[in-house]
Structure 1
Amino acid sequence: MEDETKNDEKQILAETIGAESEEEVIQHLNNPVANLKPIVKQYLTEVKGVKKEGNKFYFSDGNARVEVRVVSDEIIRVRLAPHGVFLDDFSYAVPVVDQKVTTFRLEEADEYYAISTNTITCKVRKEDFLVSFLDNATGMVMSQDTSPMHWEENVEFGGYYVYATKDCKPEENFFGLGDKSGNMNLRGRKFQNWNTDAYSFGWDQDPLYRTIPFYIGIHQSAGYGIFFDNTFRSYFDFGRENNDKTSFWADGGELQYYYIHGPHMMDVVKRYQTLTGTHKLPPKWALGYHQCRWSYYPEKKVREIAEGFRNNQIPCDAIYLDIDYMDGYRCFTWNKKYFPDPKKMIKDLLNIGMKTVVMIDPGIKVDDNYWVFKEGKENNFFCRRSDDYFMEGHVWPGRCQFPDFTNPTVREWFGGLYKELVDLGVAGFWNDMNEPAVFG
């Protein structure tokens, strides 16, 4: 019986590692690391078929599938499913994908398939699955693949690294990605998108606090945008490794991006906003002069600073209170020693034309005597790791847990916590450390 069990285990191992003989199995057992099969990038091959479903076109190479979706006359989305099965069509950034499309059509030529709207054309080359985007008015190729979309097994975390590589024209320049140090033109540089607390960063430090995986390419006075809708750690290379290529990739998730047509930069930005939405119009004072630094406390110091602005006739519309206004860095509390009567202070500041803004961190101190933590814990509102333990990190209050803002109920609960501060007269909130940042 024992011999049968061992033989079964050997058979399973042989199938797992692709061994063709017992000798290969024994060799693997003696040196498993040296005999692991290498992880290689896998590329789309030739197009073997296409299927239309409404405004979506599905291309296949026999295994992987690519979805090309007409979002509007000027926007087309591309998705890759390495093994032919797409993930749920969900995005935190794009609440509604489809917009108004006047007309679109699929045409087949000897070398490619072409999906055209009134404004742009997306071509998928049959022999190698290369995707390109053209301006219908000028015939100009705005963006095109230099190699097929590809993927690679992520051994450390599971899933796949996903890659897209496009041409980088000699006269092309790139802009975007949100908070990035250095020159506005990103040509010749490589960036990582990973939110981190980059205190006192320098000219070329990367990554920084905020990541926006959207860039604009401009060449021959015409522009387009690429929005890489992926929440994993991602990377962008604008001709750094190879001057003729620009590429973007991620450590996991789906290869899903939007091509956004211009031709002008302002057109690209406006159309990007139709995907992700726009901010509500802020109050007029929020566009005025603001005074902020790492903590003004106690109350006496706040009043002194405010009076100094007024006495010296320096315009100031708002003053900010950093974490020291809190009781032990606990959000939605006040340090009564430093600020014994915050309502009166806020009112007095308002009487001289100065609004009060306070900061809030997403890290909630682990303390069963702290009402915010207690409510969150009792209602299972905090983030959990894959092993179902709560995600914890050390921030200003010490041990912290983090509200799961992917849950609408948690968002509603957390939003309600601001009411007491608003009732005191607080006019605005500085949402800090929302990377979320942890120490160490």
Structure 2
Amino acid sequence: MITNTEIAKIGNQYPNHIVDFKHENDKIFFTTQNGVILEITILRDSAIRLRYATEHVFEPDFSYAISDDVSLGYNSLTVKEEIPEYVITTSKIKVYVNKSNLKIQIEDMDDVILSEDELGFHWEENYDYGGNIVKMSKVCHSGESYYGMGDKASHTNLKGKRVNNWVTDSYAYGKDQEPLYKAIPFYIGLKENIAYGVFFDNSFSTYFDFANEKRNVTSFWADGGEMNYYFFYGPEMKQVVEAYTDLTGVPELPPLWALGFHQSKWSYYPEKRVKEIAATFRKLQIPCDAIYLDIDYMEGFRCFTWNNRHFPNPKKMIAELEEDGFKTVTMIDPGIKIDREYWVYQQAMDNGFFCRRADGPHFKGKVWPGECKFPDFTNPEVREWWGGLYKEMISDMGVKGVWNDMNEPAVMEVPTKTANLDVRHDYDGHPCSHRKAHNIYGMQMVRATYDGVKKYMFPLRPFVLTRAAYSGTQRYCATWTGDNVATWEHLWIANVQMQRMCMSGYSFVGSDIGGFAEQPNGELFARWMQLAIFHPFCRVHSSGDHGDQEPWSFGEEITDIVKSYIELRYQLLPYIYTLFYKYIKNGMPMIQSLVFYDQEDTQTHFRTDEFLFGEHFLVCPVQEPNAQGRRMYFPKGKWYNFWNDEVTEGGFEKWVPAELDRIPLFVKEGAMVPKYPVQQYVGEKEIEELQIDVYYKEGIENSSVYEDQQDGYDYKKGRYSLRKFRLRGKENELIIQQFKDGNFITPYEKIRMTFHGLPFKIGTIELDNEIVDFKEIKLNGDNTVEVSKDFTELHIIGK
């Protein structure tokens, strides 16, 4: 046992022996002789929460991260006192609580250790600020790997890394730089092919050491607050991510146009320039759904104002853009210029809505408008007021989306790049300093924005975008990875960040295509676009101080390549929309790292480049200049080359040709991929038929396509169409069954199926158990058939 002298030396304090035990429904409490209380809450058979208090007192139980819709309930729970420990057992896991030191060990029902405290919970008094620095250390076993943690610019496998969660304006950040724009303190552990997850729900600055300092120890700690973490048992990574996503929530379905291509720059102005950009998209027939207005549309960078010299009639301009299929998205920052003639500033002053320093004066900081004050978005009254400020922009002007930037909050000309730590916040009735509120400040700003935009967009769905985020922010908005750089390294970083964010419960994510800072050449821009059309949020954005970065900015060859990939994005919109539906329905990440797809294959544990887009596309970007191809790893299964239908067996690494107009792209055998015709913008054409590419498989594969009115809330009343397909291939036949759900009537009557890889010539076709004439289904060779959208079974028999 550690002595008091040793404790004094290292500054850490530890729980000692348990003196009291209590079990109340789903909660079990253990109290130690030196005043530590451990509260274990059983959320589900495979998910528990562990909270530690010191001095016998818990903090108020409040979190911005947790969803109101979290699923709770378990099948069985027993608690037994044995000689060395207490044993808590559910139907999935066993939790051992050591009587002498409160250390925890968690096992599955096969007695495999999933999580084992090393030093376990310990703490150190924070003499500078008061309260405790709270710490937890776990044993790291040989071969154990770690994933998740949001937008870290490092290898997908975090083994050997140390990271910090403190949302930071990290302009032109580099590989492995810490910290970045988001704080998502959630990781997935993988040990002996068994996955588990840990979510450390603490909004202070948090740190994670994944066997960096000591190769056999993984630890996490925070500068204040409670040791409060959730443990999720898989055993599959999919189950861990779904459980975490259920806990922290999912967004609503976005309008379909939000999944199209978006064009942005700092900044498009004046009005004539905006219209030129829009006209060029339509002239070149490059699909685009949204144009963004950065801070220069404002009068002196004052939020909720318009520069009347650059935009003399913004309402008319926005309406004209909409007539041509463009949605207008505007930027709003948190800093409000100090100006007594500025109505937003005066309203906030009159109502006491600005943040104050510890001794009473308002917090001030320089941002784009100059000296600014900052609303306290942790105050519900402030959030309601802020949401109301969007009425004119949305209801009167016709803006269709809002982009919250600089909301870390970013502050210029100070070393910390942000607010002073003594700034005070309401924190929804739990007053605190900026040390606790900093990581959730941007989240609460975008929450207020989302509520306001949703109110004034109704009956249509809102679209909101944020730069800063904490766990749970995905409930309100899309996000992007901040101010990246036009380099090949940043193309690699964008790829791993997307995988990591999706694995961390935040799928509606993208990067600034081509890089925000500096200037890409045409090759880099084309390669980045090839990757980014497989990201849930797809937007070009650049700093504007180095030249143009539109799809046509790099010459005819690059324009043609970029156009073809944006067109592919629009063809795949029903597939992408279906992925989003699965994400909000089941917490399924829209992008999956190879290790997520097949955790049993150790070859996948350290792969960064390849990923699954949904369940059926395997993508591997080219990430170096002058490449004519690249080596890539194929996970289990068989994969059709998207470009020529060649089939590759999984489990091997292989050289794949990829000249400048090609990205290595493969489709899983058995997949049925839904497509729409190319449109210049969502809603330009009525969909006259659903196209489905069918990739033959000997065996069974399931696919689906989700559709609704593409905007609005009728889908919540059952007005949606969910087609589930079951493909069963045999040596000389192919059977496709369709199961339908929902009462939305799709505008098309026919489904056109294009078959890939049929190993036989078509001899007979049965539709719902009746043989049909080839003319009736417009059989085109052995390639294409057209059937009624309401078919139940399509049976194709070879000659």
TM-score for both structures, normalised by structure 2: 0.49
- The equivalent position to 2:179 in structure 1, one of 207, 214, 226, is 207
Q: List per-residue Cα deviations over 1:79-111 (Å, max 9, x = no partner).
A: 111211111111111255782223311112222
Cα contact 1:404–1:410 (8 A) shared by 2: yes
Q: What letter is aligned with 2:271?
A: E
**Aligned partner of 2:255 among 275, 283, 303:** 283
Q: Which residue of 2 aligns with 1:101?
A: 74
Distance between the aligned counterparts of 1:216 and 1:374, measured in 2?
47
Among 110, 121, 130, the residue aligned to 2:83: 110
Q: How far off its partner does 1:153 sit?
A: 1.1
Match of 1:229 among 185, 201, 223: 201
Equivalent of 1:42 in 1, 4, 13: 13
Secondary structure of 1:409's match?
A: helix
Shift of 1:52: 1.6
> What is the match of residue 119 of structure 1?
92
Alignment of 1:142-153 (within 5 A): 142-153=114-125
Q: What residue number does 1:314 align with?
A: 286
User: Deviations along 1:145-170, whole A, 9 cap, x unmatched?
Assistant: 11130110111111110000012121
Matches within 5 A, 1:224-303: 224-303=196-275
Question: Alignment partner for residue 134 of structure 1, among 82, 99, 107?
Answer: 107
Moved more, 117-126 or 232-241: 117-126
Comparing 212-221 with 229-238, greater Cα deviation is found at 212-221
Equivalent position of 1:27 in the other structure: none
* Structure 1 gap segments, 5+ residues each: 1-36
**2:386 aligned with 1:414:** yes
Asked if the contact 1:236/1:249 (under 8 Å) is kept, the reply is: yes
Give the corresponding residue for 1:362: 334
Once the two structures are superposed, residues 156-214 of structure 1 have per-residue CA deviations (whole angstroms, 9 ceiling, x without a partner) of 11111000001212111111111110211111100010011011111121111111111
Match of 2:307 in 1: 335
Please state whether the residue corresponding to 2:183 is helix, strand or coil.
coil
Distance 1:368 1:101 in 2: 57
Q: Which residue of 1 aligns with 2:26?
A: 55
Range with greater deviation from structure 2 (111-120 or 324-333): 111-120
Aligned equivalents of 2:360, 2:9: Cα separation in 1: 32
Cα distance in structure 1, aligned partners of 2:126 and 2:155: 33
Question: 1:191 is aligned with what amino acid?
Answer: V
**8 A contact 2:120–2:138 mirrored in 1:** no
Q: CA deviation at 1:387?
A: 2.3
Q: CA deviation at 1:430?
A: 0.8
Q: Secondary structure at the match of 2:357?
A: coil
Check the 8 A contact 2:67/2:246 in 1, yes or no. Answer: no
Is contact 1:150-1:163 (8 Å) kept?
A: yes
- Structure 1 counterpart of 2:45, one-letter code: D
Partners of 1:101 and 1:428 lie apart in 2 by 41
Question: Counterparts in 2 of 1:362-401, with a 5 A limit?
Answer: 362-401=334-373
Query: What amino acid does structure 2 have at the position aligned with 1:54?
Result: N
> What displacement does 1:42 show?
0.5
* Paired position in structure 2 for 1:175: 147
CA distance in 2, matches of 1:390, 1:258: 37
Instruction: Look up the match of 1:165.
Output: 137
Mapped to 2, the partners of 1:39 and 1:386 lie a distance apart of: 31
Aligned pair count?
403
Does the 8 Å contact 1:44/1:148 carry over to 2?
no
1:45 corresponds to which letter in structure 2?
N
Contact 2:71 2:246 in 1 (8 A): no
Q: Deviations over 1:250-302 (max 9, x none)?
A: 10011100011212122112111222121111110111111122211111211
Q: CA deviation at 1:46?
A: 2.5
- 2:454 maps to none
String of CA shifts for 1:352-380, please: whole Å, max 9, x gaps. 21111111111111211111111111111
Letter in 2 for 1:50: F
Identity %: 51
Paired residue type of 2:17: E
Shift in Å, 1:128: 2.4
Mapped partners of 1:382, 1:115: distance in 2? 47
Q: What is the alpha-carbon distance in structure 2 between the residues aligned to residue 357 and residue 198 of structure 1?
A: 23
Q: Equivalent residue for 1:88?
A: 60
Indicate the SS of the match to 2:18: coil
- SS where residue 143 of structure 2 aligns? coil
SS at match of 1:297: coil
> How far apart are the structure 2 equivalents of 1:178 and 1:401?
29
CA deviation after TM superposition for structure 1 residue 426, in Å? 0.7
Amino acid of the structure 1 residue aligned with 2:64: Y
Deviations 1:216-246 (A, max 9, x none): 1112222111111111011011111111111
Contact kept? 1:121, 1:134, Cα under 8 Å: yes
Q: In the alignment, is the contact (CA less than 8 A) between 1:193 and 1:213 conserved in 2?
A: yes
1:352 equivalent among 305, 324, 329: 324
Give the Cα separation in 1 of the matches to 2:39 and 2:263.
49
Range 37-46 or range 201-210, more displaced: 37-46
Would the alpha carbon gap of residues 39 and 156 (structure 1) be closer, same or farther in structure 2, given more than 3 Å must change?
Answer: farther
For residues 242 and 64 of structure 1, do their structure 2 counterparts lie closer, same or farther at Cα, with a shift above 3 Å needed? same
- Counterpart of 1:433 in structure 2 is 406
Asked if the contact 1:39/1:152 (under 8 Å) is kept, the reply is: no
Give the Cα separation in 1 of the matches to 2:372 and 2:57: 38
Contact 1:175/1:186 (CA < 8 Å) preserved in 2?
yes
| Residues 1:141 and 1:169: Cα distance change in structure 2 (over 3 Å) | same
Contact persistence 2:297–2:311 (CA under 8 A): yes
The answer to whether the 8 Å contact 1:45/1:148 transfers is no
Note the C-alpha offset of 1:117: 1.5
Alignment deviations for residues 390-440 of structure 1 (CA, whole Å, 9 cap, x no partner): 222211112222222222121111111111111211110111111111112
Query: In the alignment, residue 104 of structure 1 is paired with which amino acid?
Result: L
Structure 1 residue 389, shift from structure 2 partner: 2.5
> Tell me, what secondary structure is at the counterpart of 1:48?
strand
SS in 1 for 2:44: coil
| Pairwise CA distance, 1:38 | 6.6
CA distance in 1, matches of 2:53, 2:85: 20
For the residues of structure 1 that align with 2:401 and 2:119, how far apart are their CA atoms? 48
CA contact (8 A) 1:66 1:79 kept: yes
Deviation at 1:48, TM superposition (A): 2.8
Question: How many Å separate the matches in 2 of 1:410 and 1:352?
Answer: 37
The normalised TM-score by structure 1 is: 0.88
Query: 1:177–1:212: 8 Å Cα contact kept in structure 2?
Result: yes
Secondary structure of residue in 1 paired with 2:280: helix
Residue 563 of structure 2 corresponds to none
